[in-house]
Amino acid sequence: MTLRSRIYVSLFSIIVISFVATGIVATLDHYEHDITYNEERITEKENSIRASLDYLLLQNGGFIDADSISMLLGDKVCELSEVNDLFITIYDLNGRYLVSMNTDTAESLKIPMQLNEDLTRRIISETKTKAIILPSETHASQNLAYWCFFNDYGKPLALVGMLYEKKDVEKVKLWNFMQEIGKTFIVLFIVAAGLAFLITRDFTRSLSKLSDSINHLKLGRKNEPLKWKSNDEIGQLIQEYNSMLFQLEASADKLAQQERETAWREMAQQVAHEIKNPLTPMKLRLQHLQRSWQDHPEEFQTRLNDFVQSMTDQIDTLSHIAGEFSNFAKMPQSKNERLNLQDLVKSVMTTFENENQTISFYQNASEQAFIYGDKSQVIRVLNNLVTNAIQSIPTDRQKKISLGLRFSKNHVVIKISDNGSGISPEISKRIFMPNFTTRSTGSGLGLAMVKSIVTQMNGNVAFRTQVGNGSSFFVILPLDQKA
């Protein structure tokens, strides 16, 4: 439900509730008036009949013989019933029916022919000044009033019963009142609808404008502040929006600057990491060549040729990275070509070979494996994985690294295994995350870079580890099927 609809519903609900509350109060008030009216009316009827009977008593010298009551009161009861439009009954002092205007009518009106003993005793003892009024057992709109008729000497002569029909005189007044007030509330409905429309039109228009501005708010471009003429609640809300808009733009500029600085720092870290990886094996390889010249001069030429080829590949990779970094500080763009995977693996192996570590190679088939990718990036993947394998082996343990190729119909799996310390479950969950490293000198970009390069080649990287016994990393790459 929209805000405008809620305002309409709220206003109309208040009017409806007011109408209902007014009706309830009016009904209760008229009901009380009805009760008061009928109580007063029945008292008036009672007093009138009492006065008539007292006058009859006065005419007879203030005394009536019990045997003459039926005869004397018979005509008087008929007269009083006609004058007061009531049905009056006379009972003896034992509560037995004596006379009324019409006996058949008494039976049809369910007038009691015999009053019970308790009621008879109460009437004689309690009704000298006021009658006992009881509800009719047959009609909810009727009451029965009883009192005792005494002579001038205070001696009870007979019991008088009066059937009173309650009048709903206020019901018509209530209906007329509700009709009039209903017309008033209909006018209020129409006026409220007009006021609600005028109020909500300006109110919701401004909120809609504010909502549209928020929906079209974009970082990195100029956002126009809102204008509002009045200094009311909406004006204050728009002022807060404009203030937050200026703060947001300032924060966006600051965030963009921080992001650029962070990107440059991460780029510098990654490039430094990529350049640093080959330097240590190149240094070791150079020292190994020097010892070969001293210890085995007859093999020096062969080792020199291998060394030159290996160093050429590594230097080409470094030069390529440095050249690309200087070109707007971007990592090298892929220059894909058809590559002989066995040659690349053996070239990397010769880079890391020395007397402190043993690197073995195996494959499950004799044919050549060709992949399609960037030569320098594949070398960087292998360099990173072999370097990590060597660094995972404790210094007091003979370092054993194995590189293996396993072929399937469409893929080749490069397996690099070590006899290092393994990887704990906690580290395993984060091992490919950028900037995560367990070494104080590491940048944490190596394995993340490996994952990125292999993914770009439509491959995958996985590992299997056993804490204390070593790890194996698997690089799955698609074979290049083109001849």
How far is the C-alpha of 308 from the C-alpha of 283, rounded, in Å? Answer: 13
Most confident of 71-75, 362-366, 405-409: 405-409
Q: Can you tell me the mean pLDDT for 462-469? A: 90
3-171, superfamily in CATH?
PAS domain (3.30.450.20)
Asked whether the predicted pLDDT for residue 46 surpasses 80, the reply is yes
In terms of Cβ atoms closer than 10 Å to its own Cβ (0-12, 13-18, 19+), residue 210 is middle
Asked whether the predicted pLDDT for residue 435 surpasses 60, the reply is no
How far is the C-alpha of 392 from the C-alpha of 233, rounded, in Å? Answer: 66
How far is the C-alpha of 325 from the C-alpha of 317, rounded, in Å? Answer: 12
How far is the C-alpha of 431 from the C-alpha of 435, rounded, in Å? Answer: 10
Give the pLDDT band of residue 221 (cuts 50, 70, 90).
low
Q: Which region among 88-92, 227-231, 354-358 has the lowest average model confidence (pLDDT)?
A: 227-231
Asked whether the predicted pLDDT for residue 475 surpasses 90, the reply is yes
What pLDDT shows up at residue 443?
Answer: 46
In percent, the amount of the chain with pLDDT more than 90 equals: 8
- Structural domain boundaries in the chain: 3-171, 261-478
15-41 pLDDT tens trace: 778 777 877 877 777 777 777 778 888
In percent, the amount of the chain with pLDDT more than 70 equals: 81
What pLDDT shows up at residue 414?
Answer: 93
170-189 pLDDT tens trace: 566 767 777 777 787 788 77
Q: Locate 195 and state its tokens.
A: 């006021």
Q: Is 134 helix (H, G, I), strand (E, B) or coil?
A: strand
Q: What angle do CA 131, 134, 139 make, to 5 degrees?
A: 135
What pLDDT shows up at residue 319?
Answer: 73
Q: Can you tell me the mean pLDDT for 52-60? A: 83
Asked whether the predicted pLDDT for residue 252 surpasses 60, the reply is yes
Amino acid identity, position 442: G
Helix (H) or strand (E) holding 371: strand 370-374
How far is the C-alpha of 296 from the C-alpha of 349, rounded, in Å? Answer: 21
What pLDDT shows up at residue 474?
Answer: 94
Give the pLDDT band of residue 442 (cuts 50, 70, 90).
very low
CA distances from residue 102 to 23, 78, 89 in whole angstroms, order as listed: 43, 8, 9
Contact partners, residue 377, CB within 8 Å, separation at least 6: 332, 334, 453
Q: Can you tell me the mean pLDDT for 49-66? A: 81
Most confident of 131-135, 243-247, 356-360: 131-135
How far is the C-alpha of 123 from the C-alpha of 131, rounded, in Å? Answer: 8
Asked whether the predicted pLDDT for residue 151 surpasses 70, the reply is yes
User: Any idea which residue has 């990779």 for tokens?
Assistant: 317
Give the pLDDT band of residue 440 (cuts 50, 70, 90).
very low
327-352 pLDDT tens trace: 434 455 678 889 998 888 888 888 88
Give the pLDDT band of residue 14 (cuts 50, 70, 90).
confident
What pLDDT shows up at residue 434?
Answer: 61
Provide the CATH number for the domain formed by 261-478 in this structure: 3.30.565.10
Q: Return the higher-pLDDT residue of 87 and 138.
A: 87
361-406 pLDDT tens trace: 888 777 788 999 898 889 989 988 998 888 888 888 888 899 999 9
**DSSP bridge pairs for 475:** 414, 461
153-174 pLDDT tens trace: 788 888 999 888 877 655 667 6
What pLDDT shows up at residue 481?
Answer: 77
Cα 56 from chain centroid? 85
How far is the C-alpha of 282 from the C-alpha of 352, rounded, in Å? Answer: 8
- Mean pLDDT over each residue of the chain, to the nearest integer: 78
